[in-house]
Structure 1
Amino acid sequence: MPPDPLPPAGIVARVAAHALATPDALAVHDGRHDLTYAQLIANAAQLAQALRLRGIGPGSAVGLLVPHSVRAVVAQLAVWWAGGHYVPLDPDHPDERITMTLRETGAALTVGDPDLLADSPVAAAHALPLPPLPFPVLPRAAGAPAPVAEPAPYDPDATAYVLYTSGSTGRPKGVALTHRGAESMATGLPCDPLRPGDRMLFHSPMAFDAAAFEVWAPLAHGATVVVCATGRPAVEHLATEAAHLGADVVFLTTSLFHHLAARDSALFGLVRTVVTGGEELSGAHARRVLRLRPDLELVNAYGPTEATTFATAHRVHDADCAGAPPLGHPLPGAGAHVLDGRLRPVPRGATGELWLSGARLAAGYVAQPALTAERFVGPTPGDARRYRTGDLVSVRADGALVFHGRTDEQVKVRGHRVEPGEVEHVLLRHPGVREAVVVVRRTSVEDARLTAFVVPEAGARCDTVALRDHVSALLPAHLVPGTWVLTDGFPLTGSGKADRRALARDPLPPVRTGGRPGIGDRPAADGVAAPPPLSPVQRVVADAWSAALGRPVDRPDADFFALGGHSLLALTVVEDLRRDLGAETALAAFYADPTVAGHGALLEAALREELR
């Protein structure tokens, strides 16, 4: 018998091969719209033609400003079909951040939802609004390029997409991921193989590296992408969406996994596989889920964005859960090397720094050659190109990697990489700030809060609300501290530097004198009357907030996010009140007015609706 043919090279060719072999198989589904593989290819080719007419080809960067939808999947494939690479943009990011991203990547065209484009800093001349599906067949003018029947030639080393991560120098880092790395990520899975008919939930933010896994892994295997089209689903609504869409496989950031595990979420009874990663996994939470669902495939996956989402993985069993489960073994296309300070391998069981190699490595950082050379080393004669992770690990007897911390100050908060230096640089741009230190304080396994300690300039009027507004105007939400402390100085190490470990560990200092607010309180002007008492519904809201935030809440104008709240806590509060009161409130409405009074008004309206 002749040998089986080799699989086509590149994800685009794999998707096209599925369209030829099983044209009627379901490729993308969002609960309202479906695309078969044949329809996905047809729509991607049509959009690729429009992109080519706008000058997009090999080497072109294309911004993507699209909500979770079937069209988002088509748009990503179309950019690759035309030969370009995509740059996901988050509509919730500040305009300055979006403008910087487009400028640095050289994206002269942004494809997007018309409403999102209208509210963005993208000029109309550089925007391509997406029409409804199916995309129209474009008329061909005389001398215009022919319709795009075939995808651009496959170049494994070409950039496939660019994702931005936090930067320690105050400048975010654009990581250029290659087609070779994307294919390795999509085919060398951290979980059991995907098969036609399987459904993977696409719910991660587009600019988060797990989103690429959620889209390309199923499409590379002839499976189905099921799109969670809800912008910010509440905690248990994620289970509802998974049930509605028939999801079999789901990725959860570690923080979200911990929250769902603590609540015995119905999600774990709906899917066969949960891949989790982004932070150190709690053995207690993993054990709780596995004892609830012994047959669940629970995978602890590890990998920086620079290694195309995942580099190692470990199938978690009950026996792993006495402590933090290991990071596991390298995945196909990834190599792992544990080295000492002189770049020599350390003995098994000893702790060293983890370096990664292999096909999954990114090309480097966009427009930052010095940083690329510092973090991506090689190749040298007889050695492979390697990426320095900054993670400290050891190798246990069975070859699995065990995490021991960081060599630097980088931290993970709710799955996002946070370089405190980036936040500190932005804070120091405020004229009222003399010194700033940012750390992560953990109130529990489920809750990590970015905390800013600020020394104001002498005589400056500096309050926490103004500082939060300043940072929010320049940085994405996950980089905005939730807890603020104004102080006269920091504890110091023996070398005279701010003692970050003490700031992250020790009790918060008392609010400094001088009438300034601290730890997230709104400023109070002299002579202002005491706030009015809380109404009964507002008291219910305040009590729910107090339980989530771990601090008393007693003002109608108290702001959830100024008090240290964040997206996961908001999900929890909305879900707790839904469970206790039977009142459905939209998370987007909560974000629009995140005060006790605003949340109380939402609850009152929902309760009135229930009584009709």
Structure 2
Amino acid sequence: MTNRKPLLDDRKETAVTVARTGLPALVARHAEHTPHALAVADGDTTLTYAQLAGAARRLAAHLHEQGVRPGDFVALLMPRSARTVVAQLALWWTGAACVPLDPAHPGPRTAAMLEDSGATLTVGDSKLLEAAGTPGATLALPGDEQLADAEMPGDGPGPDDTAFVMFTSGSTGRPKGVAIHHGAIAELVTDPDYVTVTARDRVLLHSPATFDGSTFEVWSALANGAAVVVCTTERPSFEDLAKEVERHGVTVAFFTTALFHQLAARRSRVFSLLRTVVVGGEAMAAQHARAVLRAFPWVELVNGYGPTEATTFATTHRVTDADCDGPVPIGRPMAGATAHILDEAFLPVTDGAQGELWIGGSRLAHGYTRQPELTAERFVDHPTLGRLYRTGDLVSARPDGVLDFHGRTDDQVKVRGFRIEPGEIEHALREQPDVDDAAVTVRRPTPDDARLAAFVVAAPGPVPRPDALLGRLTALLPAHLVPAELTVVDRLPLTTSGKVDRRALADLATAAETIGAAEPLTPLQQAVAEVWSRSLGCEVTRPDADFLDLGGHSLLALVVAEELREDLGVELSLPDFFTAPTVAGHAALVERALLAAHTDLHPDAPKDTDGH
């Protein structure tokens, strides 16, 4: 690819046409021109653009009175709701940057994020703030009915001001805070040509605020005069998502690749309701893409690729049936991004050759908060190509410029849409007093199920119990970083160069584990065990078998809940699922639901011994 121009979207060859601005100005523009258009729907609550702008301005004035100033970094801890959108917008109108926090994250993780972001204040829901015990100053946000109309001084943020600090996994054992500026998000979402979003659309918000997919979900809607439909269920099931889409007429949705694969495998009716589906996070499986395109030929299916450092998506590709004859490409750069394929000497590779993908353009993040050395290492001023971000991903370019993905140059992995540095988990394990060494890899018991597998070498003394170690990790790391399985080994396999042999590690993990029966299963327990076995990739024969101990995780829980609904006609909520995560526990919940349904249909039927 010597002497070749950077790979640019054909429609952006000359210049980026989207005006860069602060995000509040985009909302204010729609509030002025289409004040009565729907902006946010949250269950039974709706906000027009005029109402959204008014509520955000009133809250911004309140935050200003409480001392929030331009340039401040303020953490936000709230459940997913319309108020979350109002609060983000209010923080920006004060000129502050928003640091989203996840209520599900353990305290040490949240404390590290607050420290590394430089947040001076945490605002949000009063109950969550109290329960989290976040360090430093906190401020519970009042409801809109408690606020008086007030003028917010100042013009709001400019395009170069930081909008979000989003955290990604870090190999040093601490998450990395990525400072993303307003102009980058505005350019990503304003009048996009890589995906269809118009003022008549409704975009589903179901991602956690800490996941950069939520940036696309909220602001692709609000930048284009469309509506955000907020799924307020903390852990929505497949059926919850379909009902939300159906109830509010959602037309556009983003799904992580793992979730898309599960929905596609079931030919979920959610696709019959959507016009546009954007998928990202991992490599898209061609068979699932083809299944959706053939079953739902009207769906606009977009494969998105990009690290948080390049503002959610750097390249995209509208997938066709023909693309599914081989690996689905990740497409061309879009919305101001550029792509360069370089060799180890940082020179362009020859045409068609594999090399490392470096991303440039106007949507690169400012860098990592409070980590100047890491910022200088990953964001490089190339002598001829300008400022670039080194992705660590291997790609090649087709003759038409479309990019194909070929894997990683390092140990970083993607699991269920989350970018994971095994080193972060290994660091947390090595910090345990009874662990001498540790390594983490990915195991795939089935093509659609990737799970983290940890291997530890015990320190001298009593050998640690795997469940106890995993329990300690749960108190330190977010759920997506806690391995699904942990094995104690005498030593870690090494390559000839002395590095951990991760392929050999994968061989150490048993492809399937048969749990010996302790007592016979009842017919209902047997039905539950059969659903578990199909989803977990192992034979389950004990009533006390624990879903999490067998490698289960939140996405597999969605699969099991959906199959129980299809096989037994019972809807099991995820909170109930994880309250009693054993075969016997699930069978009891199923039995109770069946009895309740039977009693509703036959009021004179005898009730069970609990009075149900």
Match in the other structure for 1:178: 181
Q: Deviations over 1:389-415 (max 9, x none)?
A: 000000101100110111100000000
Say which SS state the counterpart of residue 325 (structure 2) adopts: coil
Unpaired runs of at least 5, structure 1: 139-146, 511-517, 523-529
Match in the other structure for 1:64: 76
Asked whether the equivalents of residues 529 and 541 of structure 2 are also in contact (C-alpha less than 8 Å), the reply is yes
Report whether the alignment pairs 1:598 with 2:573. no
Alignment of 1:70-149 (within 5 A): 70-122=82-134, 126-134=137-145, 136-137=147-148, 147-149=150-152
**CA separation in 2, counterparts of 1:492 and 1:164?**
31
Letter aligned with residue 301 of structure 1: G
Letter aligned with residue 319 of structure 2: V
Cα shift at 1:343 = 0.8
Asked whether the equivalents of residues 21 and 182 of structure 2 are also in contact (C-alpha less than 8 Å), the reply is no
**CA separation in 1, counterparts of 2:509 and 2:319?**
36
Name which of 442, 445, 458 aligns with 2:444: 442
**CA separation in 2, counterparts of 1:119 and 1:535?**
40
Cα shift at 1:92 = 0.7
Say which SS state the counterpart of residue 188 (structure 2) adopts: helix
**CA separation in 1, counterparts of 2:580 and 2:76?**
28
Identity %: 54
Match in the other structure for 2:240: 237
**CA separation in 1, counterparts of 2:100 and 2:75?**
6
Scaled by the length of structure 2, the TM-score of the pair is 0.91
**CA separation in 2, counterparts of 1:192 and 1:456?**
51
Distance 1:447 1:6, change over 3 A: closer
Cα shift at 1:581 = 1.1
Alignment of 1:439-588 (within 5 A): 439-504=441-506, 506=507, 508=509, 531-588=518-575
Match in the other structure for 1:607: 594
- Aligned positions, number: 583
Q: Deviations over 1:137-188 (max 9, x none)?
A: 17xxxxxxxx334664432222111011101121211111111111112226
Asked whether the equivalents of residues 483 and 519 of structure 1 are also in contact (C-alpha less than 8 Å), the reply is no
**CA separation in 2, counterparts of 1:482 and 1:79?**
37
Cα shift at 1:467 = 1.0
Letter aligned with residue 82 of structure 2: V
Say which SS state the counterpart of residue 486 (structure 2) adopts: strand
Say which SS state the counterpart of residue 335 (structure 1) adopts: strand
Asked whether the equivalents of residues 202 and 250 of structure 2 are also in contact (C-alpha less than 8 Å), the reply is yes
**CA separation in 2, counterparts of 1:118 and 1:209?**
26
Say which SS state the counterpart of residue 132 (structure 2) adopts: coil
Asked whether the equivalents of residues 18 and 190 of structure 2 are also in contact (C-alpha less than 8 Å), the reply is no
Match in the other structure for 1:297: 300
Say which SS state the counterpart of residue 91 (structure 2) adopts: helix
Match in the other structure for 1:398: 400
Distance 1:451 1:563, change over 3 A: same
Cα shift at 1:8 = 7.8
Cα shift at 1:519 = 7.5
Asked whether the equivalents of residues 484 and 520 of structure 1 are also in contact (C-alpha less than 8 Å), the reply is no
Say which SS state the counterpart of residue 386 (structure 2) adopts: coil
Report whether the alignment pairs 1:212 with 2:215. yes
Name which of 161, 164, 177 aligns with 1:161: 164
Name which of 195, 198, 202 aligns with 1:192: 195
Alignment of 1:250-261 (within 5 A): 250-261=253-264
Match in the other structure for 1:52: 64
Match in the other structure for 2:358: 355
Cα shift at 1:424 = 0.3
**CA separation in 2, counterparts of 1:543 and 1:150?**
62
Asked whether the equivalents of residues 30 and 245 of structure 1 are also in contact (C-alpha less than 8 Å), the reply is no
Asked whether the equivalents of residues 283 and 324 of structure 1 are also in contact (C-alpha less than 8 Å), the reply is yes
Asked whether the equivalents of residues 482 and 520 of structure 1 are also in contact (C-alpha less than 8 Å), the reply is no
Name which of 250, 267, 270 aligns with 1:267: 270
Deviates more, 1:99-108 or 1:215-224: 99-108
Unpaired runs of at least 5, structure 2: 1-16, 600-612
**CA separation in 2, counterparts of 1:78 and 1:521?**
53
Cα shift at 1:462 = 0.7
Cα shift at 1:562 = 1.7
Match in the other structure for 1:337: 340
Name which of 6, 10, 27 aligns with 1:15: 27
Asked whether the equivalents of residues 199 and 247 of structure 1 are also in contact (C-alpha less than 8 Å), the reply is yes
Asked whether the equivalents of residues 15 and 219 of structure 1 are also in contact (C-alpha less than 8 Å), the reply is yes
Asked whether the equivalents of residues 190 and 313 of structure 1 are also in contact (C-alpha less than 8 Å), the reply is no
Distance 1:6 1:470, change over 3 A: closer
Match in the other structure for 2:424: 422
**CA separation in 1, counterparts of 2:509 and 2:20?**
57
Q: Deviations over 1:439-468 (max 9, x none)?
A: 011123311010011121233231110111
**CA separation in 2, counterparts of 1:588 and 1:133?**
30
Cα shift at 1:236 = 2.8
**CA separation in 1, counterparts of 2:521 and 2:564?**
17
Report whether the alignment pairs 1:223 with 2:210. no
**CA separation in 2, counterparts of 1:192 and 1:406?**
27
Cα shift at 1:69 = 0.9
Match in the other structure for 1:412: 414
Asked whether the equivalents of residues 546 and 552 of structure 1 are also in contact (C-alpha less than 8 Å), the reply is yes
**CA separation in 1, counterparts of 2:417 and 2:583?**
28
The root-mean-square deviation of aligned C-alpha atoms, in Å, is 2.1
Match in the other structure for 2:287: 284
Scaled by the length of structure 1, the TM-score of the pair is 0.91
Deviates more, 1:242-251 or 1:545-554: 545-554
Q: Deviations over 1:219-263 (max 9, x none)?
A: 011111111111111123211111112110000001111101111
Distance 1:600 1:219, change over 3 A: same
Letter aligned with residue 199 of structure 1: R
Say which SS state the counterpart of residue 288 (structure 2) adopts: helix
Match in the other structure for 2:603: none
Asked whether the equivalents of residues 515 and 541 of structure 2 are also in contact (C-alpha less than 8 Å), the reply is no
**CA separation in 1, counterparts of 2:112 and 2:571?**
38
Deviates more, 1:126-135 or 1:322-331: 126-135
**CA separation in 2, counterparts of 1:167 and 1:203?**
25
Distance 1:216 1:595, change over 3 A: same
**CA separation in 2, counterparts of 1:183 and 1:218?**
11
Letter aligned with residue 181 of structure 1: A
Cα shift at 1:379 = 5.9
Cα shift at 1:349 = 0.4
Cα shift at 1:483 = 1.7
Asked whether the equivalents of residues 194 and 334 of structure 2 are also in contact (C-alpha less than 8 Å), the reply is no
Report whether the alignment pairs 1:374 with 2:385. no
Distance 1:36 1:535, change over 3 A: same
Asked whether the equivalents of residues 440 and 448 of structure 1 are also in contact (C-alpha less than 8 Å), the reply is yes
Cα shift at 1:133 = 4.1
Cα shift at 1:200 = 0.5
Q: Deviations over 1:487-513 (max 9, x none)?
A: 112332111222102222x26369xxx
Letter aligned with residue 92 of structure 2: W
Say which SS state the counterpart of residue 340 (structure 2) adopts: strand
Letter aligned with residue 56 of structure 2: A
**CA separation in 1, counterparts of 2:584 and 2:18?**
62
Q: Deviations over 1:304-352 (max 9, x none)?
A: 0000000000000000001221110110210100001111111220001
